[in-house]
Amino acid sequence: MDNVIVATRSHTHEAGASEEHAHVALPQHRHHFETEQQQREAGTFGMWLFLLTEIMFFGGLFMSYLLYRNWYHDAFVVASNQLSIKLGAFNTAVLIGSGFFMALGVWAAEVRKKGLLVLFLVLTTLLGLVFLGVKYDEYHEKWEKHHIPGAHFDVSEFVNPHAYGIKEEPLAPDMAQKTQVFFSLYFAMTGMHALHMIIGIVLLGWLTYRAHRGDFSSGYVAPIENFGLYWHFVDIVWLFLFPLLYLINRHPGS
């Protein structure tokens, strides 16, 4: 009979609630959940369903990258070598640090330490901003070199690399044009990733304000925990973008 849903004796709602679920006392507990754990699991489940749609959203971009990299391999190699591994690796470390502080923030909310929670949320935000700052610098360099796809795109570094002191094999003009495909995907993927980070930083500001007000230091962790899931998901996207865009084309011909 364990799995049978039964209507309990008719009684007033308030009396029934305190009789059967005396352990649920938190004001954020919604009446349509029987226990706090059930409410929490439902929230986590819902957040993961949202993240699944995000996996498929970024998945389409990764799929395009995989396909075009195989089609225009030579163009992808030289275009990818335009990116700075140093900046990419630095940003990876910054983002891992940001995720680390976010994870500590969830812990601080669990153990109800308000001051630590606010501190960790602020550190998460700061490292997120550092990441975006470096990204801005990288985009700006592409802008100056006319490596943004479109009418002003400049292929001269790819058809005549030796004139620019670049140790690459020159590309035929038609293949050199395909470097625009790489940069389109580069801007689409890192741009969508950066947009997710900007949205995350806005949410972090709101969560920090509420954490400071004391909303999350009396056992109500769900908003912090579910935002943490989002923030870590954005980290994971970058963990794949970094090797795909910056690293795997290091060796022409491989």
Partner 1 sequence: MHDGWKEKTMSEFHDPANVVNPEHADHHIITPKTYILVFATLLAFTGITVGAAFIDLGILNPVVALGIACFKAVIVILFFMHVKYQSKLVKMTVGAGFFTFIVLITMTLTDYVSRAWGLW
Structure letter (DSSP) for residue 246: I
Which residues, numbered 173-202, are part of the site for partner 1 (CB under 8 A)? none
Q: Do residues 91 and 135 lie in contact, with contact meaning Cβ atoms separated by under 8 Å?
A: yes
Site for partner 1 contains 49 (CB under 8 A):
yes
- Which one of residues 126, 134, 166, 229 is an interface residue with partner 1 (CB under 8 A)? 229
What is the rounded distance in angstroms from the CA atom of residue 54 to the CA atom of residue 23?
A: 36
What is the rounded distance in angstroms from the CA atom of residue 45 to the CA atom of residue 32?
A: 16
How many residues contact partner 1, by CB under 8 A? 69
Based on CB atoms, which residue is closest to partner 1, 60 or 150?
60
Based on CB atoms, which residue is closest to partner 1, 155 or 204?
204
Based on CB atoms, which residue is closest to partner 1, 215 or 225?
225
- Which one of residues 26, 111, 195, 198 is an interface residue with partner 1 (CB under 8 A)? 111
User: Which sign, positive or negative, has the C-alpha torsion 86, 89, 93, 94?
Assistant: positive
Three-state secondary structure call for residue 93:
helix
Site for partner 1 contains 25 (CB under 8 A):
no
Please give the helix or strand (H or E) that residue 226 lies within, else none. Answer: helix 222-241
Site for partner 1 contains 68 (CB under 8 A):
no
Structure tokens that stand for 239 in this block: 């963990």
- Which one of residues 72, 76, 216, 242 is an interface residue with partner 1 (CB under 8 A)? 242
What is the rounded distance in angstroms from the CA atom of residue 216 to the CA atom of residue 106?
A: 10
Site for partner 1 contains 55 (CB under 8 A):
yes
Site for partner 1 contains 144 (CB under 8 A):
no
Site for partner 1 contains 235 (CB under 8 A):
yes
- Which one of residues 75, 79, 104, 127 is an interface residue with partner 1 (CB under 8 A)? 104
Q: Do residues 207 and 227 lie in contact, with contact meaning Cβ atoms separated by under 8 Å?
A: yes
- Which one of residues 93, 195, 198, 199 is an interface residue with partner 1 (CB under 8 A)? 93
- From the list 42, 45, 48, 19, the residue with the least C-alpha distance to 29 is 42
What is the rounded distance in angstroms from the CA atom of residue 101 to the CA atom of residue 179?
A: 37
Shortest Cβ 16–partner 1 spacing (Å): 6
Give the C-alpha distances (Å, rounded to integers) separating 132 from 92, 164, 197.
12, 29, 8
Three-state secondary structure call for residue 62:
helix
Site for partner 1 contains 1 (CB under 8 A):
yes
Q: Interface with partner 1 by CB under 8 A: which residues?
A: 1-8, 10-11, 13, 16-17, 20, 31-32, 34-35, 37-38, 40-41, 44-45, 48-49, 51-52, 55-56, 59-60, 62-63, 66-67, 85, 89, 92-93, 96-97, 99-100, 102-104, 106-107, 110-111, 225, 228-229, 232-233, 235-236, 239-240, 242-244, 246-248, 250-251, 254
